[in-house]
Amino acid sequence: DAGVTQSPTHLIKTRGQHVTLRCSPISGHKSVSWYQQVLGQGPQFIFQYYEKEERGRGNFPDRFSARQFPNYSSELNVNALLLGDSALYLCASSRGLLNQPQHFGDGTRLSIL
Amino acid sequence: GENVEQHPSTLSVQEGDSAVIKCTYSDSASNYFPWYKQELGKGPQLIIDIRSNVGEKKDQRIAVTLNKTAKHFSLHITETQPEDSAVYFCAASPLPMDTGRRALTFGSGTRLQVQP
């Protein structure tokens, strides 16, 4: 079975622009979570979605938003990009909220110029 | 919210030696503790996890121990090999996750280097 897939793998944007990152979970997984990983640090939780509903939100500004589609894939949107948004954005999927573990994709490397 | 501290930040061992990485957590509601291995250019890969009703879990050369009273858990890798070289992250979360609670809270990572 395919693992978690994310696209694009790399992205370069300038300050003030908007970006959309995409994630396809492992087949059979209904929950998707998004994390931000700044270089040299552990991933930080942004959002969790289950059955198309937001089930958890981390300490990120309203410029960050996400959604989950009927096929359980997900998008992360970031508006008004700042230099500090440069990071690896990771998507993780799990079967459900009550059923860990979370399996990660290889991420999207976002660079803001 | 949860805070997870991880030590050491770097660890260098000789091939065949054991490696131990330690983490502490602050939220007594946390009861699920996974460990991830992250290689350069890759996402974190789950290597082992433990739930609060278990004190120890083993999978071949990897073991994890949990002390809920002291709020700490450790990763033990025996007979280390060069391919074990990577960054290792511990994490903690409540299970089940209530609405509004954070999901996994990660430590800051340990860079393990296994010298051949």
- pLDDT tens profile A36-74: 999 999 999 999 999 899 988 899 999 999 999 999 999
Return the H-helix or E-strand segment holding B25: strand B19-25
Question: Of A27-31, A49-53, A97-101, B13-17, which gets the smallest average pLDDT?
Answer: A97-101
Sheet strands (E) in chain A: 5-7, 10-13, 19-24, 31-37, 44-50, 53-57, 64-68, 74-78, 87-94, 103-104, 108-112
pLDDT at B38: 98
Positions in chain B short of pLDDT 70: 95-102
pLDDT at B100: 47
Q: Looking at the complex, does the CB of residue B102 fall below 8 Å from at least one CB of chain A?
A: yes
pLDDT at B54: 82
**Residues of B with Cβ-Cβ distance to A43 under 8 angstroms:** 44, 89, 104, 106
Neighbours of B18 (CB within 10 A): 11
Q: Quote the percentage of chain A above a pLDDT of 90.
A: 86
Cβ–Cβ gap A43/B106 under 8 Å = yes
A1 pLDDT band (50/70/90 cuts)?
low
When the pLDDT of each residue in chain A is averaged and rounded to a whole number, the result is 94
Residue matched to tokens 């998707």:
A32
CA A80/CA A15 separation, integer angstroms? 7
